[in-house]
Structure 1
Amino acid sequence: MFKVIALLTRKPGLTRDEFVDYYENNHAPLITETFPQIIEYRRNFPDLTQVLRTGDTPDPQFDVITEMWFSDKSGYEDMLATHAQPEVGNRIRADESNFLDQTRIIQFVVDEREFPRS
């Protein structure tokens, strides 16, 4: 499996509830319809009322950790090629402008490892 993570920040002026609602009811369905290459798609919304931190550790600078799995690297590259098509990329960016601070999108490939349990 090939995994990608995105750290996304809500658009100024949106509450957390508005952000989550828009992502779950508008953007997530758009992504799953547009990119069949994504075989698993999770959105993790931090609950900062239940956080472990030390000292003056600041709040994170994002509102959701999005995880996307692909069958392999070529599936990810195919998704990127689909996104690069102007009609697709423009549609995604237009939807993102409704709820994301697009200047703060961070997406990266991860080397996911699991500790074996006995």
Structure 2
Amino acid sequence: MFKCMALLRKRADISKEQFIAYYENNHSVLIRKLLPGIIDYRSNFIDMDGAFLFPDASPIDFDVITEIWLEDRAAYDRFIAASSDPDIARQIAEDEEHLFERGASRMVVVEERQWTKPAGRSQ
């Protein structure tokens, strides 16, 4: 599996509830419809209540972390190529105007690793 993650900031003039509702009911549906090869798509909405930040840490400047899984790097390359198609790019940009501060968007490729047992335990 191949994974990328997007860190996205909501528009300042919409509430968290409006943001989540539009994201879940419109944006994620559009992305999964337009872009090929998505195996899994998850949205992790930031909740700062109870967050822990070190005193010198940079401020959290995003509202959702989106995880997108594809089959492999070739599938990711097709996904990126499709997002560059002028018609698809236009549809995505028009939709993003409803909820994101687009200039703050970031997407990275990640190597996910999972630890199945707690550290320090032998069983």
Q: TM-score, normalised by structure 2?
A: 0.88
Shift of 1:87: 0.5
Instruction: Deviation per CA, 1:13-70: give whole Å up to 9, x if none.
Output: 1111111111011101101111231110000001111223344756510000000000
After TM superposition, where is structure 1 displaced by more than 6 Å over at least 4 residues in a row? none
State the identity %: 36
Q: Secondary structure at the match of 1:39?
A: strand
Distance 1:6 1:104 in 2: 10
1:98 corresponding residue in structure 2:
98
Residue 79 of structure 2 is matched in structure 1 by 79
Q: RMSD over aligned Cα, in angstroms?
A: 1.5
Gaps of 5+ in 1: none
Does the CA contact (< 8 Å) of 2:36 and 2:78 recur in 1? Answer: no
Aligned to 1:62: 62
- Give the TM-score, by structure 1 length: 0.92
Residue 23 of structure 2 aligns with an amino acid whose one-letter code is: Y
Q: Helix, strand or coil for the counterpart of 2:38?
A: coil
Which residue number in structure 2 is paired with residue 88 of structure 1? 88
**Aligned counterparts, 1:106-117, within 5 A:** 106-117=106-117
Q: Which residue of 2 aligns with 1:6?
A: 6
Cα distance change, pair 108–58 in 1 and its aligned pair in 2 (3 A): closer
Which has the larger displacement, 28-37 or 93-102? 28-37
Work out whether residues 36 and 82 of structure 2, in 8 Å CA contact, stay in contact via their aligned partners in 1.
no
Distance 1:53 1:103 in 2: 24
